[in-house]
Structure 1
Amino acid sequence: MTGKNKLKARLQAGETVTAAWLEFGTPEVAELLVHTGWDVVVIDCEHGTAGLEEGLGLIRAVEAAGGQAIVRVPDCSEATLKRALDRGARSLMVPMVSSAAMARDIAAFCQYSPRGRRGYAAPIVRASDYGKRTDYAKTAHDELLIMAQIEHVDTVREVAEIAGIEGIDMAFVGPNDFAASMDHLEDMTHPDVQGQIAEVEKVARAVGLMLGTIVGAGRSYADLREAGYSFIVGPNDISLLAAASRAARAESEMNLGCRGS
């Protein structure tokens, strides 16, 4: 490991960064994504097949292939966040952050005193290279990137306060759950949904909070960059495999003039 969070540096420099989801919990797929051009990979421990420990192990595969890893943790509990950080995650995506109070707890769980109340075991954890980095506890916060997922309409009024919390770097808009919270499940382009998401964007831009989201919901990468998003997650490995499989099967049927059973 190194102490430098290159992804955080890229975002702070104003770069628009794109990423792919890793849903299959295997190092081979993690490596494949990096080697096919996705230099930032989100390891999904919320909805993907890997549990937290397996997901944290996949950081090694992404980094060894030359990529940068983000871990979407399954929950925002103190134990989960502490475990993820100790095991070497520097960039975290935290789901279902519904209030400023929750965001404040997350920031506290992730930072050592006096900034927060992260449990101390710095000399023996992977994050410090097992004690080799003797300044780890004093500098860990500098390289930490925390993305708080904004996924409920009730959170819109909390965005400005969330932006003021030391340690929260980005509001990551989850449009699917956001739409569901407004009784528009799987209708992310509904005008009411888009209107509320636009309000999140407006507030975040006004207070200088970085924005992230997924591609889609009626908007392209370029559309999202224009709206102020600096981090955009695109395809996932399952969808890529399924689309390629369907296309290959359709080609075989077209060439043979028949359909499989």
Structure 2
Amino acid sequence: MSLNAIWSEGRAALNGWLSIPDGFASEVMAHQGWDTLTIDMQHGIVDYAYAVRMLTAISTTQVVPIVRVPWLDPGIVMKVLDAGVLGVICPMINSAEDAEIFTSALRYAPRGRRSFGPIRANLAHGADYPKRADDLVTGFAMIETRAALDALDAILAVPELDAIYIGPADLALSLGAEPRFDPVDPVVTGPIEHILARAKHHGKRAGIHTGSASYARAMVEKGFDFVTIGSDARFMAAGAARAVADFRNVGNDVKIAY
């Protein structure tokens, strides 16, 4: 399964976020019905070795594996591709030149300059992976700054760019607004709608980070093709907090049966 296969069915992809560097936690998330899971190597505490273990765990399912790389660095883009990811989200793409550097690392020659060495990708996706890789892999440029807004059409015009991904928190900061999930401030929502409209104009897919299922559904209704709802760490914290709150509300007369 790939993102293109999901989109060919005419539906948006539901994405989960992984920031806990653990194979079992990733495997648990992978069995919950997500279309895709993104390992966060930018703001999470995941390094490359842990990312490979997490990708191995995700491979127990049909979930599409994605990585958000730490920065615009062709070396790490190529390395996570060789590890078997089928999507790469690259932060802080602020110009067409940035987008060209990023996309060139996604494709083998003659379409790009990805170095050949799919050491785990062959295991995860079959011996014919190198022949299909250029079309299997999806590259997302994160649009999250005023500079990116100013260069939006030039970024979207880069031929090998598949999609954009909106980081609402950094976008809000860049525009002088409060960073938050599920923004309602027109200072932020206006640019989000503009980014979506321009992506559609250029024939690119559009994704966005959200903090709730209701907001994610609203974004899909607006036309987004890829929506993230929460992370493993946030789900764990929320579930634990609810359990503790339920216990505290009941009182101290609860008996634990062993």
Q: TM-score, normalised by structure 1?
A: 0.87
Q: Which range moves more in the overlay, 35-44 or 227-236?
A: 35-44
Matches within 5 A, 1:126-205: 126-129=120-123, 133=127, 135-186=128-179, 188-205=183-200
Q: Cα distance, 1:218 vs. partner?
A: 11
AA aligned opposite 1:30: S
Partner of 1:109: 105
- Cα RMSD over matched residues? 2.4
Task: Tell me the equivalent position of 2:251.
Answer: 256
1:151–1:178 Cα contact (<8 Å) kept: yes
Q: Of the candidates 210, 215, 240, which is equivalent to residue 215 of structure 1?
A: 210
Q: How many residues are aligned here?
A: 251
The Cα shift of 1:7 comes to 2.4
**C-alpha contact (below 8 Å) 1:103/1:165 kept by paired residues:** yes
> Displacement, 1:219?
6.8
Give the structure 1 partner of residue 256 of structure 2.
Answer: none
CA distance in 2: counterparts of 1:169 and 1:12, whole angstroms: 14
1:62 is aligned to 58
- State the 1:197 CA deviation: 1.8
SS of residue matched to 1:212 = strand
Q: Distance in 1 between matches of 2:12 and 2:45?
A: 28
Q: Which amino acid aligns with 1:256?
A: G
Higher mean Cα deviation, 146-155 or 217-226?
217-226
Deviates further, 178-187 or 92-101: 178-187
Letter in 1 for 2:177: H
Contact preservation (8 Å) 2:38, 2:68: yes
Question: In 1, are the aligned partners of 2:15 and 2:229 still within 8 Å (CA)?
Answer: yes
**Identity level (%):** 27
Q: Which amino acid aligns with 2:197?
A: K
Mean Cα deviation higher: 71-80 or 161-170 = 161-170
TM-score with structure 2 setting the length: 0.88
Counterpart for residue 71 of structure 2: 75
Note closer, same or farther for the CA distance 1:250–1:217 as it changes in structure 2 (3 Å cut).
Answer: closer
Asked if 2 retains the 8 angstrom alpha-carbon contact of 1:56 and 1:89, the reply is no
Match of residue 228 from structure 1: 223
How many angstroms apart in 2 are the aligned matches of 1:203 and 1:233? 20
Contact 2:103 2:161 in 1 (8 A): yes
Aligned to 2:32: 36
Amino acid in the other structure paired with 2:224 = Y
